Amino acid sequence: MATADDVRRIANGLPRTVERIVRDQVKFNVGRIVYLALSRDEQTLGLAFPKEERAGIVAAEPEKFSLPSTGDMRYHWVHLRLDAVGVDELRELIVDGWRMVVPKKVAAAYDAAEP
């Protein structure tokens, strides 16, 4: 089971990530783009996710994923229950979301440095 501390550890280890508090909510940005946001109770994680794939993942794994609120459907975003995933899957989802917002050369340098 993943926790908010796992989210912080993984996200803060990614290049150009900045952790901020916005309206009592922890968010992770690259530049001005938010790619992760913890719910206020830190049980759910909003994360960058391809719009065209989110309905499929929510339908396939509704115990893990849910759609964002109606107002946020215009964004590349999905919600994840932290208690429904392990740390390895969480890392993969966070890194994939991060890749959506960093320049390709930053992602390539990260890949080259990974063991």
pLDDT, tens digit (0-9, with 9 covering 90-100), for 64-100: 999 999 988 899 999 999 999 999 999 999 999 999 9
pLDDT value for 115: 67
Query: pTM for this one?
Result: 0.94
Which residues fall within 8 angstroms of residue 80, CB to CB, at 6 or more apart? 44, 45, 46, 47, 64, 65, 90, 93
List domains and CATH numbers for the chain.
4-107 (3.90.1150.30)
Q: Cβ–Cβ contacts within 10 Å for residue 84, how many? A: 15
Is 16 in contact with 31 (CB distance < 8 Å)?
yes
Angle at 81 between CA 70 and CA 65, to 5 degrees: 55
**Distance in angstroms (rounded) separating the CA atoms of residues 99 and 107:** 6
